[in-house]
Chains A and B, each alone.
Chain A
Amino acid sequence: MKNFNGKILFLDRSDINTDEIIPAKYLTESTKIALKPFLLEDIVLERFNPAKDIEGKSVVVARDNFGCGSSREHAPWAFEVNGINMVIASGFARIFRQNMFNCGMMAVSLEKDVIEKLFTKFAGKSTSVETDIDKMLFTFTADGLKEVIPFSISQYDLALVKAGGWVDYADQKY
């Protein structure tokens, strides 16, 4: 199972699309690792510098409809090769969300007001999250602040995360 703990990258926007996460011109690469330098290269977001702000982060927190647009699994891969295995947002585009779990990564939805609270309380600080996947609890901490927030993913999604993805699961079963 992948690591779902670590420092948070806050992306304060809705509708972050997969072209912004990894532009199509890099889809000619035939390895995942080659995508590493280009993550979030085209994102439209003030005060965000992908060259500086991604390093050392393990989890993304964003607003609604994260990962809309293209079906490219290069989007989850570009996060994965940068050490980011989880995105927490108030909503996801269907294909992106499925791609994350299919890769044994996590795309976790929280209510809008909970996401708002996370931005208000933790954005701009050096914030970390610890994930207890069996109890389905996040513990956010920063500068003496702490917040424990429950989350929910289906047993099926959990099975994919624990199995490390959909290919082996399906090949055994169908």
Chain B
Amino acid sequence: MGKTVAQKIFDAHYVDSPCSDIQVISLDAVFCHEITTPIAITDLMARGKDRIFDPSKIKAVIDHVTPAKDSKTALQGKILRDWAIRHKIKDFFDIGRNGVCHAIFPEKGFVRPGFTIIMGDSHTCTHGAFGAFAAGVGTTDLEVGILKGVCAFRYPESIKVEITGKLPKGVYAKDVILSFIATIGVNGATNKVLEFCGEVVDSMTMDQRMTLCNMAVEAGATSGICAPDMVTVEYLWQFIKDEYPSKEAALDSFSKFKADADAAYSDTIKLDVFNLQPLVTLGYKPDQVKPVSEMAGTRIDQVYIGSCTNGRLEDLEIAASILKGKKIADSVRGIVSPATPDIYSKALDKGIIKIFMDSGFCVTNPTCGACLGMSNGVLADGEVCGSTTNRNFNGRMGKGGMVHLMSPATAAASALKGEIANSELYLA
């Protein structure tokens, strides 16, 4: 019987099988940030095991609260910084060079097809967009990853998600993944890998594929995966051009991680996007979704554009195209956080930042802060936010706040109107 993408990656990284359905695999990269890593570091030190398996395979960033907002967050940054220096971790991104982990690590070329990656962050599934197996883990798994370069998982079963049709104008990867989560539920893919394929995925850019895979965990999935193709190779070419004689040769090499034609999937789900509308969440679960048209008129206090889901250049470009020459509603606080310094810089060069500022948005540095209610845009009790992030959990962006998840286009249009609204790009 044939193998799925995830199974081929597991087979290439096999270390041990401590019981029938558990497999220990070797890791190609361990990503670290300052919220979940410091406790792993202090625990390793307390155990007399302050070692790392390979400094070239550990990448670290301060991204959740940056600049530090108080003494506690300053200490978390310091523990990570001191550790990176102590262990000669070259790829450590401190303030001025730091960005949202799931945006900056792919941008630096650290994610390759066939890689195995863990991080103490549930949205690590984002990196599956490159045909990698990438999974969020807790601090203990992270600690072992740092120490030994291994992690234990169930041998992966995958759900094939075939996305067909053609996306209508004004409908985006965010709407696709919200639609999928609404279909399968927040628990629909628990312990499974989602293998996204089909003509819609084939035509997506890497930015869009990352948005798609980013929210795999909101359906309970271990990882989202898009098989590598020429789009993947083009994105990575600047990092891999010395390793392969041609792009075709690179693709040929990556193709060993493509699923077999007779691969066994635990389920196959077909999603046709032909009639898909822009979507928005309501309530406190990401599977509670309605068309924007049915939620239109819902008052909002804040619009947040950013995060590992939708803070990349394409996202900012789409939002800016809607905001250009217009002012956001007086009642709305608009906040945009370009996800990395490179995105910020490119947005500056393209005049996108000016458009945001002229429309009344506050432009913050790259950070995760507002998405999880830690800094840079926390809601007050009873406030409502239209947000391009990935979780609408109760209290997520601030105690007593309500979060409506949406695409950057819907967020920009909603900021202009002061209430949830479809963008002019979507012609219903």
Contacts and interface: CB of A to CB of B under 8 A. Distances in A.
Interface in B53-85: 64-65, 70, 72-73, 75-76, 79
Contact of B395 (A19, A95, A170): A19
B394 A95 contact: no
Contacts of A171: 49, 144, 147-148
Interface residues of A, number: 45
Contact of A166 (B76, B152, B284, B396): B152
Contacts of A65: 186-187, 190, 220
Interface residues of B, number: 56
Interface stretch (A48-56, A110-118, A134-142, A154-162): A154-162
A92 to B, nearest CB: 8
B141 A98 contact: yes
B16 A98 contact: no
Question: Most chain-B CB neighbours within 10 Å: which of A93, A96, A99, A174?
Answer: A174
Contacts of B147: 167, 170-171
Contacts of B211: none
Nearest to A100: B138
B282 to A, nearest CB: 14
A114 to B, nearest CB: 18
A162 B9 CA distance: 31
A15 interface: yes
B37 to A, nearest CB: 11
Contacts of A28: 35, 65, 70, 72-73, 76, 374
Nearest to A170: B144
Nearest to B68: A28
B47 A167 contact: yes
A27 B393 contact: no
Contacts of B120: 71, 73
B220 A165 contact: no
B39 A68 contact: no
B50 interface: no
A24 B374 contact: yes
A71 B136 contact: yes
A71 B391 CA distance: 13
A174 B190 contact: no
Contact of A42 (B43, B124, B187, B399): B399
Contact of A167 (B43, B191, B374): B43
A91 interface: yes
A45 to B, nearest CB: 10
| Interface-central residue, B16, B75, B143, by most chain A CB under 10 Å | B143
Contacts of A30: 38-39, 42, 72, 75-76, 79
Contact of A94 (B72, B220, B399): B220
A6 interface: no
Contacts of B70: 28
Nearest to B397: A24
Contact of A95 (B21, B136, B143, B150): B136
A98 B137 contact: yes
A28 B49 CA distance: 23
A29 B141 contact: no
Given A65-B186, A154-B21, A19 B396 contact: yes
B139 interface: yes
Contact of B137 (A25, A71, A93, A170): A71
A126 interface: no
A80 interface: no
Contacts of B47: 167
Nearest to A17: B393
Nearest to B396: A19
Contacts of B372: 19, 24, 70
B24 interface: yes
B190 A93 contact: yes
A72 B24 contact: no
A43 B394 CA distance: 8
B1 interface: no
Contacts of A155: 19
B140 interface: yes
B22 interface: yes
A25 B190 contact: no
Contact of A44 (B19, B35, B141, B284): B284
Contact of B139 (A14, A42, A73, A92): A73
Given A154-B22, A171-B148, A27 B374 contact: yes
B187 A69 contact: no
A49 to B, nearest CB: 16
B220 A93 contact: yes
Nearest to B390: A69
Which of A20, A29, A73 lies at the interface centre, i.e. has the most chain B CB atoms within 10 A of its CB? A73
A166 B141 contact: yes
A135 B140 CA distance: 28
Nearest to A103: B140
A98 B138 contact: yes
7 contacts: A19-B395, A70-B391, A71-B120, A156-B152, A167-B43, A167-B143, A171-B147
Interface of B: 15-16, 18-19, 21-22, 24, 35-36, 38-39, 42-43, 47, 49, 64-65, 70, 72-73, 75-76, 79, 120-122, 124, 136-141, 143-144, 147-148, 150, 152, 186-187, 190-191, 220, 222, 284-285, 372-374, 391, 393-396, 399
3 closest Cβ pairs, A-B complex: A99-B138, A73-B138, A102-B140
